[in-house]
């Protein structure tokens, strides 16, 4: 699924607790991966 | 003429009606000569570009007028505009099938909808309304229209009467000139409700046919607190409404701050404040007023105007949506509280329906609707903290009949291999005095009881409160009422049986303080009453309330009891004092 597609992300139907695999490719693949993992770890900025 | 819907933004407003009809433009499928397909791609690109400019303008307006959080939704819309699954696919459809841009957008819409519809999760499923909003905008721009220009520039101050309002239509709306909003549709107007609330504009949704019944230019009063729309009210009625409007406005502003606060007395006793609701759309209102779940869902409203029993699957879906909307809080569904008319239309009726064959009493002769409902509740229990409550039992034997039905439904579902929640808590509405007086005998068989004070008072005092000649005798603080509630709470405490109150007593701050003093820790009321009751609770200590309630048990008239409560807890009541009603 292309991460730049909001519809694609929605269609993953990944509800809270679902397992997801993130892959990044490109000039800043490492930085992007870290940023995405941090986003998931932080609960997407939503409070518990 | 008066219409009843669901109030989703409180307050009262008076104004002239403006009817907004939405025509779904038909979409034509045209075969485009191979040499012209690129021209269609250009048309699509331009329509997307125009949509982007409109959405940016709307987003900008929203962040200025309502604040950041509500503007985020338009970021999602902007992302969808450029999404490869939408844009690239539509371009591919134009090129491969040699069709016009409108049809390509339609094809992509159908494909995406098929995917969205397959979702298990209601939240995700409902995201398709955002997608529709974006696709609809592209279609309008393809058609040469500029969105809905009339909405963003209203010809005066109006009560907007619309079939429905999508998020971007709601955002585009010229809110400064909107006096109130009423819509035919219910569930799809959640964003409208949020915007209306944050702007303090009354809104009523789910009116079904307001666009057909309200004449254009009519004088309309919208009561968003009670979910009422009054068309062309009489002079005195209008004056009353205007006065009520002013009081509401002041009250609402004062109480708004309390929604996020916990319902706890000064000495730390927590009281759960829940909502009584009739329509699923009220769940949003309940949450916005700070309800910790739904203490009473009057399921008979599911019968609708057509008086049709909803199917088992439809009910599972409704209860599940309620749970999802209120999560993580519990939802208590009361089984059909209907009369003989609903079971056997056109047949003989009870000479005195209040004492006749109604609610649980109909189970003996007409088990089918109850069986279907209980099966649906058991299945929906798998989705969250659902509870079932049986109304109008006269005592232990009626209750046993209901519990038998529950066991039978479980056995059926097990046999069929259906997923369901074995542990659906079953409770009883205590509204017939004989049931209240036998609470201890039923305590082992139910998991909770909820005192339905409206009926309990009527039956205990033998007063029909709809009869104007005796309404003065309908006294929620009659010594017998205070005593019977005290007795129920004591019996329940002895068996560690949770007890709640659902009924208008819970919604009246003075009565609510007496209930809490008597030991009730769970009150369910109309959503709009919650902030007021909470303000009263937060201003008292439980020790005080208990002392007053105990003293009341010895007083011999409603007047003395009320006077005592006012004297002792006057400060707390002042904190919550409602406009005189």
More confident residue, B361 or B307: B361
Contacting residues of A for B76, CB less than 8 Å apart: 6
| pLDDT grade for B392, boundaries at 50, 70 and 90 | very high
User: For residue B166, is pLDDT > 90?
Assistant: no
Closest chain A C-alpha to B7 CA, distance in angstroms: 28
Yes or no, beta carbons of B121 and A8 under 8 Å apart: no
- Is residue B188 predicted with pLDDT exceeding 60? no
Whether B326 has a pLDDT exceeding 50, the answer reads: yes
Which of A2, A10, A11 minimises the CB distance to B84? A2
Residue B473 has pLDDT above 50, yes or no: yes
Q: Grade residue B348 by pLDDT with cuts at 50, 70 and 90.
A: confident
Residues of A in contact with B115 (CB under 8 A): 11
How many CB atoms neighbour CB B551 within 10 A? 14
What's the gap in Å between the CA of A30 and the closest CA on chain B?
24
A6, B124: Cβ pair inside 8 Å?
A: no
Predicted ipTM > 0.90: no
The segment with the largest mean pLDDT, out of B113-117, B489-493, B504-508, is B489-493
Q: Which of B76-80, B265-269, B486-490, B569-573 has the lowest mean pLDDT?
A: B569-573
Instruction: Provide mean pLDDT across the span B22-41.
Output: 77
Chain B residues contacting A via beta carbons under 8 Å: 76, 79-80, 83-86, 112, 115-116, 119-121, 123-124, 127, 131
Residue B67 has pLDDT above 70, yes or no: no
pLDDT above 50: residue B382: yes
The model's pLDDT over B95-130, given as tens digits with 9 standing for 90+, comes to: 999 988 988 998 999 888 888 888 877 777 777 878
B419 close to B397: Cβ distance less than 8 angstroms: no
> What's the average model confidence in pLDDT over B196-206?
81
Between CA B49 and CA B56, with CA B51 as vertex, the angle to 5 degrees is 95
In angstroms, how far is CA B88 from the centroid of its own chain? 40
**What's the per-residue H, E or C state across B70-136?**
HHHHHHHHHHHHCCCCCHHHHHHHHHHHCECHHHHHHHHHHHHHHHHHCCCCHHHHHCHHHHHHHHH
Tell me what pLDDT residue B142 has: 84
- Please measure the distance between the N-terminal and C-terminal CA atoms of chain B and give it in whole angstroms: 23
Q: How confident is the model at residue A1 (pLDDT cuts 50, 70, 90)?
A: confident
For the cut 60, the answer to whether the pLDDT of residue B145 exceeds it is: no
**What's the predicted TM-score (pTM) here?**
0.60
Residue B17, strand partner residues: B159
**Is residue B444 reached through a cis peptide bond, with omega within 30 degrees of 0 on the bond before it?**
no
Within B256-366, residue ranges assigned H as helices are: 282-288, 312-326, 340-343
Chain B residues with beta carbon closer than 8 angstroms to that of A13: 119-121, 124
* pLDDT band for position B22 (cuts 50, 70, 90): low
User: Which residue in chain B has the smallest CA separation from A2?
Assistant: B84
Q: Tens of pLDDT along B413-437?
A: 999 999 999 999 999 999 999 999 9
DSSP secondary structure code for residue B270 in this structure: B
Measured between alpha carbons, how far is B72 from B79 in angstroms, rounded to an integer?
A: 11
Query: Which has the higher per-residue pLDDT, B227 or B70?
Result: B227
Measured CA to CA, the distance from residue B135 to residue B267 in angstroms comes to 55
DSSP conformation class of B24: -
Distances (CA, A) of B242 to B9, B11, B334, B420, B569: 17, 11, 36, 50, 31
Give the whole-angstrom CA distance, residue B162 versus residue B116.
26
Distance of CA B161 to the CA centre of its chain: 20
* Cβ-based neighbour number of residue B400 at 10 Å: 13
Task: Give the separation between CA B122 and CA B335, rounded to whole angstroms.
Answer: 24
Mean residue pLDDT of chain B comes to 86
Question: Could you write out the DSSP letters of every residue in B28-81?
Answer: ---B--GGGHHHHHHHHHHHHHHHHHHHHHHHHHHHHHT-HHHHHHHHHHHHHH
Nearest Cα residue in chain B from A5: B83
Least confidently predicted of B80-94, B256-270, B367-381, B497-511: B256-270
Looking at B70, B77, B191, B329, which residue is catalytic? B191
Q: Number of Cβ pairs closer than 8 Å across A and B?
A: 31
Residue B200 or residue B486, greater confidence? B486
Q: Which residue among A2, A4, A13 sits closest to B121, beta carbon to beta carbon?
A: A13
Q: How confident is the model at residue B557 (pLDDT cuts 50, 70, 90)?
A: very high
If pLDDT is split at 50, 70 and 90, which confidence band does B240 have?
Answer: confident
Q: Which of B478, B486, B502, B511 is catalytic?
A: B502
pLDDT at B443: 92
- Residues from chain A that touch B127, judged by Cβ atoms under 8 A, are 10
Query: Is B552 marked active-site?
Result: no
Strand order in the sheet with B2-4: B2-4, B228-231, B219-223, B12-20, B158-162, B178-183, B203-205, B6-9
For residues B51-71, give the mean pLDDT: 77
B551 Cβ contact list (under 8 Å, min separation 6): B564, B568
Asked if B428 and B449 count as a contact pair (C-beta separation under 8 A), the reply is yes
Q: Read out DSSP for B283-302?
A: HHHHHHTT--SEEEEEGGGG
Which residue of B lies nearest to A15 if distances are taken between CA atoms?
Answer: B121
Q: Please, what's the largest Cα pairwise distance for chain B?
A: 94
d(CA B513, CA B517): 6
CB within 8 Å: B127 and A10: yes
Per-residue pLDDT tens digits for B262-290: 999 999 999 999 999 877 767 877 887 88
Question: What pLDDT does B149 receive?
Answer: 42
Predicted local confidence at residue B581, as pLDDT: 35
Minimum Cα–Cα distance from B134: chain A residue = A7
Q: What is the pLDDT of residue B65?
A: 66
Does the distance separating the beta carbons of A2 and B121 come in below 8 Å? Answer: no
B83 vs A11: CB contact, 8 Å cut-off?
A: no
Tell me if residue B191 is catalytic. yes
């Amino acid at each position: 699924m292309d991460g730049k597609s909001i519809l694609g992300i929605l269609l993953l139907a990944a509800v809270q607790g679902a397992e997801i695999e993130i892959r990044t490719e490109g000039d800043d693949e490492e930085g992007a991966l870290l940023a995405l993992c941090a986003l998931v770890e932080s609960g997407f900025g939503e409070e518990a | 003429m008066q219409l009843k819907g669901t109030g989703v933004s409180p307050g009262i407003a008076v104004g002239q009606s403006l009817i907004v009809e939405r025509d779904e433009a038909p979409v034509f499928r045209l075969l485009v000569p191979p040499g012209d397909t690129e021209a269609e791609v250009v048309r699509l690109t331009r329509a997307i570009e125009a949509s982007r400019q409109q959405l940016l303008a709307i987003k900008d307006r929203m962040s200025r007028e309502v604040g950041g959080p509500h503007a985020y939704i338009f970021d999602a819309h902007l992302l969808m505009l450029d999404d490869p699954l939408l844009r690239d696919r539509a371009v591919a459809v134009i090129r491969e099938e040699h069709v016009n841009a409108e049809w390509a957008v339609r094809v992509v819409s159908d494909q995406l909808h098929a995917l969205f519809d397959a979702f298990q999760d209601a939240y995700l499923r409902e995201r398709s309304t955002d997608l529709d909003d974006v696709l609809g905008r592209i279609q309008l721009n393809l058609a040469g229209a500029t969105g809905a220009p009339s909405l963003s520039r209203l010809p005066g101050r109006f009560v907007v009467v619309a079939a429905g309002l999508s998020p971007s239509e709601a955002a585009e709306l010229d809110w400064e000139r909107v006096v109130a909003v009423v819509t035919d549709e219910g569930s799809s107007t959640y964003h409208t409700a949020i915007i209306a609330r944050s702007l303090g504009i009354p809104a009523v949704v789910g009116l079904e046919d307001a666009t057909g019944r309200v004449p254009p230019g009519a004088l309309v009063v919208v009561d968003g607190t009670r979910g009422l729309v009054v068309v062309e009210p009489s002079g005195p009625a209008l004056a009353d409404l205007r006065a009520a409007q002013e009081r509401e406005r002041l009250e609402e502003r004062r109480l708004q701050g309390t929604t996020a606060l916990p319902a706890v007395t000064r000495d730390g006793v927590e009281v759960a404040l829940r909502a009584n609701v009739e329509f699923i759309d009220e769940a949003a209102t309940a949450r916005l007023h700070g309800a910790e779940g739904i203490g009473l869902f009057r399921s008979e409203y599911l019968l609708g105007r057509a008086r049709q029993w909803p199917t088992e699957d439809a009910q599972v879906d409704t209860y599940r949506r309620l749970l999802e909307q209120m999560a993580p809080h519990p939802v208590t569904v009361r089984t059909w509280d209907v009369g003989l008319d609903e079971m056997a239309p056109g047949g003989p009726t009870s000479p005195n329906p209040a004492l006749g064959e109604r609610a649980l009493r109909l189970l003996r002769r007409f088990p089918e609707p109850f069986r279907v409902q209980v099966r649906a509740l058991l299945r929906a229990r798998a989705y969250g903290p659902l509870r079932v409550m049986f109304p109008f039992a006269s005592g232990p034997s009626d209750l046993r009949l209901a519990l038998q039905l529950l066991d039978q439904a479980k056995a059926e579902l097990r046999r069929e291999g259906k997923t369901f929640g074995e542990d659906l808590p079953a409770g009883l509405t205590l509204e017939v005095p004989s049931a209240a007086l036998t609470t201890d005998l039923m305590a082992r068989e139910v998991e909770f009881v909820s005192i339905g004070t409206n009926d309990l008072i009527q039956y205990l005092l033998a007063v029909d409160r709809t009869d104007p000649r005796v309404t003065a005798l309908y006294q929620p603080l009659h010594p017998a009422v205070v005593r019977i509630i005290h007795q129920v709470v004591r019996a329940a405490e002895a068996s560690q049986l949770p007890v709640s109150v659902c009924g208008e007593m819970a919604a009246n701050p003075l009565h609510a303080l007496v209930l809490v003093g008597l030991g009730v820790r769970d009150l369910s009321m109309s959503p709009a009453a919650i902030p007021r009751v909470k303000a009263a609770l937060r201003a008292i200590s439980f020790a005080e309330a208990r002392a007053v309630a105990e003293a009341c048990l010895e007083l011999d008239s409603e007047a003395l009891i009320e006077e005592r409560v006012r004297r002792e807890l006057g400060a707390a009541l002042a904190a919550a004092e409602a406009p005189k009603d």
